[in-house]
Amino acid sequence: MPDDPRPSKSRLDPGGLSSLAATTMAALYDADMVVVMEVFRARVLNRGADKLFEQVPGDGGQRHLRYKPMVELLLLHVHDVAVSDAPRDERESEILWALEAAGF
């Protein structure tokens, strides 16, 4: 599979990098998982740009940022779990497990 130099445009992120993080955090908030939201912010989003993003070449020598693959997968997974119909304690456990499994 060839490298795709374009910035990430996931199904939840039509507007850019900050949109995906904001959508994920809003899903946690709406699911009344504020404690998990704070854990997610501390363990993932507050790690610094070098841990979250990679630079890819773009047109005209410009460089673009995109989420590192594991970070993007984690954001998408956390969002999907937060909005699922599973009981809240199961969703919280799943998100905390995903953080550990992803190395956060």
Give the pLDDT score at 10.
43
Give the total number of structural domains in the chain. 1
pLDDT digits (tens, 9 = 90+) for 55-66: 888 888 888 888
Q: Which domain holds residue 65?
A: 17-101
Domain annotation covers residue 6:
no
pTM: predicted TM-score of the whole model, two decimal places: 0.79
Does the pLDDT value for residue 5 go beyond 60?
Answer: no
Let me know if residue 79 belongs to a domain: yes
When pLDDT is cut at 50, 70 and 90, the band that residue 9 belongs to is: very low
**Domain for residue 46, yes or no?**
yes
Tell me the pLDDT band of 90, cut-offs 50, 70 and 90. very high
Determine the 3-state secondary structure of 1 from DSSP: coil
**Range scoring the smallest mean pLDDT among 3-7, 43-47, 48-52, 94-98:** 3-7
Query: Given this model, what pLDDT does residue 70 score?
Result: 95
A 10 A CB-CB count for 27 gives 20
CA-wise closest residue to 9 among 72, 54, 71: 72
Tell me what pLDDT residue 16 has. Answer: 66
